[in-house]
Chains A and B, each alone.
Chain A
Amino acid sequence: MKNQILRLTILALIISMFVIGCKPVEETEEVVVSEPEVGETQVEQLPEEEEASTCEDPFRVAFILSGAATDQGWAMSHDIGRQYVQDNLECVETISIESVKSGDSERIFRDLVNQGYDMIFGCSSGFIEAAYTVAQEYPDVIFEQSGTPYELPNMAAFFGRVYETRFLAGLVAGMMTENNMIGHVTSFPIAEMKYNINGFALGVKEVNPDAKIHIVWTNTFGDPAIERSAAESLIDLGVDVISMHQNSPTIMVVAEESGIYGIGYQLDMRPHAPDAVLTTVEWNWGPYYLETVQNAVEGTWEPHNAFLGIDSGVIRLAPYGDMVPQEVRDLVAEWQEKILSSEFKVFEGPIYDNEGNLVVPDGEYLEFEQIQEMDWLADNVISPPTD
């Protein structure tokens, strides 16, 4: 008898360990992330006093994040956007659900619908299928999903034309390299990574036709130790500027240790490596989130496919490090003007790939669908075969 009670206690203990371990963090309403001022992405967390809401029935918006809202990367960029909405709209209540895995996301979408949320943002392409499934069942709830568009009256897609900002970063890298060897650590060999690489490579080529971009593929977004190993392999090869398409600041830290320059991604990475980071290809979701939530509140929201460029402010170059000379800044500003005025498109021909094929003929440029299916690498990119 005594033994049985003991066994039951143990069983309860084991089960409770599973429960504690598997519970996603949801209580982020208590966490305030400082507003993304220019050059300020250091996070400060303050316990927030729940403001006495002046409205009876707030418009409720949920953001589903793939990582911790403090991850200094992708997930945090969305949480900063959420905070921007919270700060700039009256009578709106926002929440971030953190560290949601793709396989668990459908349950989270359903939970949020059942809790009465009016609008749900899926902030990772891993949630697309789940969002589509749940959106079909709940036509009264608005879904905004990062990544590929689906045609539904209550679902929109959003992403950024990152390659425009990558092009600008490529100009910086091309002018700052001294030995014409530039490294780039990327993740999976899919179209998104390839148009990022190519945007960057074309920028480099514009100012420095002799420089080469050396690529390593990690096939992961969540393993800082792998990021270090990948970055070191490029640095040992001899690159003197390293760029990245990963989630943590590890690669910039390695660059700083090695005394070379780095170009960050996601959020301004100067705080992590002040002597290395030239600039950062930075997400700034606030303006877009504010606009689309406002439309939803006012009832003017329409399904859309927002593939947002530097004109929207959603993807931008974060402030330069002190070591970047004025001439580089001026040149980048000139090109930025050309992109903004549509005088120049990043993927306009002639462009050759690194196998010698003409992939964009002279006088033509790539359309949205072609960019989404990009399967080549520009002719100044050195990469192992990716198929």
Chain B
Amino acid sequence: MTLSFLIPLLDVTIRAGTSLLFAVLGETISERAGVLNLGIEGIMIVGAFAGFATAYESGSLVLGLIAAMIAGALLSLIHAFLSVTVGANQVISGVALVAFGTGLANLLGRPYIGKLGPKFSRVAIPLLNKIPVIGKVLFDQDPMIYMSFILVIIIYLFLYKTKYGLQLRATGEDPQSADAMGVNVGKVRYLAVIIGGMLIGLGGAHLSLSYVAGWQDSLTAGRGWVAVALVIFSSWNPKRAFLACLIFGGIEGIQFRLQATGIALPTYFLRMLPYISTILVMWFVHLSSGTKKKLGAPGALNKFFDRESQA
């Protein structure tokens, strides 16, 4: 494998995986607080649309990103209200959000299809981009990609090294104890779902403002569901999320590169991989320990916490 094959492959690996990475990070925060948000696909596509439409109308990429975050936050707010305040079934609420978000974005997006809007371009980081191979791959990318790298570190440090991160994880593991410790479980969960939604919205915006650069019908094309699987695959851990997204970005990149040289890969099988590997990971963990603890699933994931019924 020559460098002229490897460097573009690694480069597209990063770029194709970035929208997934934002979404997986967002969902990790939400699920770490105990709220399963299956609406990723819907939130991503609304984020992608809001980001593009705003950037197109205003000419400002920054406003586009803000709009994508606001859109993600608003949609997630619906989910937070249903799952945290009311205690509705989180699975149904999430799936409803997918139908709602996809329909809404495609409806509002009709006039924007195929329009040329502003987009993020590559910004090389001086000196670092001179490192052989790595420099080109990691330090000559668009600003959203740098943002995603930084977010991996920040979210990791937040979750595992700060008091608030501990409170958030406690909320997801054992809300009763967290409540007894004086943590406001409802507030933490609301914030986690909303901030998670903002990141998922940014994931969509990376598609419409950088990778594809433009709005198309059903732009996200199922990436939200891949993200759902990758959260489990990465055992709710931001560092592993980064690796998982690299793997699946790489699969998207390499299949066509091999085809272009005349080698066939089973595309349908490749598209099943995120789900198959997630199932395998869950199965292995089940065999080795028999508890979901070891896998890293938050103990109170998908469970409603009703403070009044505790007493």
Contact residues in A for B214 (Cβ distance below 8 Å): 224, 248-250, 253
CA distance A363 to B261 in the complex (A): 34
- The one of B82, B102, B103, B213 in contact with A14, judged by C-beta atoms closer than 8 angstroms, is B82
Does chain B have a CB within 8 A of A222? yes
Does chain B have a CB within 8 A of A237? yes
- Chain A residues 248-271 with CB under 8 Å of chain B are 248-250, 253, 271
**Which of B42, B219, B263 has most A Cβ within 10 Å?**
B219
Contact residues in B for A99 (Cβ distance below 8 Å): 106, 217
Task: State whether A13 and B267 are in contact (beta carbons under 8 Å apart), knowing that A18-B100, A21-B96, A71-B113 are contacts in the complex.
Answer: no
- The one of A7, A23, A218, A233 in contact with B86, judged by C-beta atoms closer than 8 angstroms, is A7
Does chain B have a CB within 8 A of A272? yes
CA distance A386 to B267 in the complex (A): 11
Stretch at the interface among B61-69, B232-240, B250-258: B250-258
Closest residue to B259 on the A side, CB-wise?
A216
Stretch at the interface among A80-88, A109-117, A140-148, A377-385: A377-385
Closest residue to A42 on the B side, CB-wise?
B114
Contact residues in B for A71 (Cβ distance below 8 Å): 113-114, 216-217
- Digitize B54-91: 1 where CB-to-A-CB distance is under 8 Å, 0 elsewhere: 00000000000000000000000010001000101000
- The one of B96, B113, B207, B267 in contact with A225, judged by C-beta atoms closer than 8 angstroms, is B207
Could you tell me if B8 and A236 are in contact, using CB atoms closer than 8 angstroms?
A: yes
**Which of B19, B109, B218, B263 has most A Cβ within 10 Å?**
B218
Does chain B have a CB within 8 A of A22? yes
Contact residues in A for B260 (Cβ distance below 8 Å): 183, 214, 216, 233-234, 236-237
- Digitize A349-387: 1 where CB-to-B-CB distance is under 8 Å, 0 elsewhere: 000000000000000000000000000000000111110
CA distance A225 to B251 in the complex (A): 13
Does chain A have a CB within 8 A of B212? yes
Does chain B have a CB within 8 A of A10? yes
- The one of A14, A21, A218, A219 in contact with B88, judged by C-beta atoms closer than 8 angstroms, is A14
CA distance A233 to B262 in the complex (A): 12
Does chain B have a CB within 8 A of A38? no
Could you tell me if A230 and B99 are in contact, using CB atoms closer than 8 angstroms?
A: no
* Majority secondary structure of chain B interface residues (helix, strand, loop or mixed): helix
CA distance A72 to B107 in the complex (A): 15
* Majority secondary structure of chain A interface residues (helix, strand, loop or mixed): mixed
Could you tell me if A17 and B96 are in contact, using CB atoms closer than 8 angstroms?
A: yes
Could you tell me if A233 and B263 are in contact, using CB atoms closer than 8 angstroms?
A: no
Q: In whole Å, how far is B186's beta carbon from the nearest beta carbon of chain A?
A: 16
Task: State whether A233 and B257 are in contact (beta carbons under 8 Å apart), knowing that A17-B96, A67-B217 are contacts in the complex.
Answer: yes
Task: State whether A14 and B256 are in contact (beta carbons under 8 Å apart), knowing that A21-B98, A222-B218, A228-B212 are contacts in the complex.
Answer: no
Does chain B have a CB within 8 A of A70? yes
Could you tell me if B256 and A233 are in contact, using CB atoms closer than 8 angstroms?
A: yes
Chain B contact patch, size range = 35 or more
Contact residues in B for A53 (Cβ distance below 8 Å): none
Contact residues in A for B263 (Cβ distance below 8 Å): 384
Contact residues in A for B78 (Cβ distance below 8 Å): 13, 17
Could you tell me if A68 and B113 are in contact, using CB atoms closer than 8 angstroms?
A: yes
Could you tell me if B114 and A248 are in contact, using CB atoms closer than 8 angstroms?
A: yes
Closest residue to B217 on the A side, CB-wise?
A68
Could you tell me if B103 and A20 are in contact, using CB atoms closer than 8 angstroms?
A: yes
Q: In whole Å, how far is A329's beta carbon from the nearest beta carbon of chain B?
A: 26
Does chain B have a CB within 8 A of A52? no
Could you tell me if B113 and A70 are in contact, using CB atoms closer than 8 angstroms?
A: yes
Contact residues in B for A248 (Cβ distance below 8 Å): 114, 214, 216
Closest residue to B5 on the A side, CB-wise?
A236
Does chain B have a CB within 8 A of A232? yes
Does chain B have a CB within 8 A of A133? no
CA distance A13 to B100 in the complex (A): 11
- The one of B16, B93, B103, B221 in contact with A22, judged by C-beta atoms closer than 8 angstroms, is B103
CA distance A72 to B78 in the complex (A): 33
- Chain A residues 55-107 with CB under 8 Å of chain B are 67-72, 99
Could you tell me if A223 and B221 are in contact, using CB atoms closer than 8 angstroms?
A: yes
Could you tell me if A10 and B96 are in contact, using CB atoms closer than 8 angstroms?
A: no
- The one of A45, A226, A232, A233 in contact with B111, judged by C-beta atoms closer than 8 angstroms, is A45
Closest residue to A75 on the B side, CB-wise?
B217
Could you tell me if A72 and B16 are in contact, using CB atoms closer than 8 angstroms?
A: no
Does chain B have a CB within 8 A of A6? yes
Task: State whether A25 and B97 are in contact (beta carbons under 8 Å apart), knowing that A71-B114, A224-B219 are contacts in the complex.
Answer: no
Could you tell me if A217 and B267 are in contact, using CB atoms closer than 8 angstroms?
A: yes
Could you tell me if B114 and A272 are in contact, using CB atoms closer than 8 angstroms?
A: yes
Task: State whether A14 and B93 are in contact (beta carbons under 8 Å apart), knowing that A99-B106, A219-B268 are contacts in the complex.
Answer: yes
Task: State whether A383 and B262 are in contact (beta carbons under 8 Å apart), knowing that A22-B99, A23-B103, A217-B267 are contacts in the complex.
Answer: yes
Does chain A have a CB within 8 A of B116? yes
CA distance A233 to B255 in the complex (A): 9
Does chain B have a CB within 8 A of A229? yes
A-B contact pairs, 6 of them (CB 8 A): A23-B103, A72-B113, A72-B114, A216-B260, A219-B267, A224-B212
**8 closest residue pairs by CB, A with B:** A21-B99, A72-B114, A384-B264, A21-B103, A17-B100, A233-B256, A223-B221, A17-B96
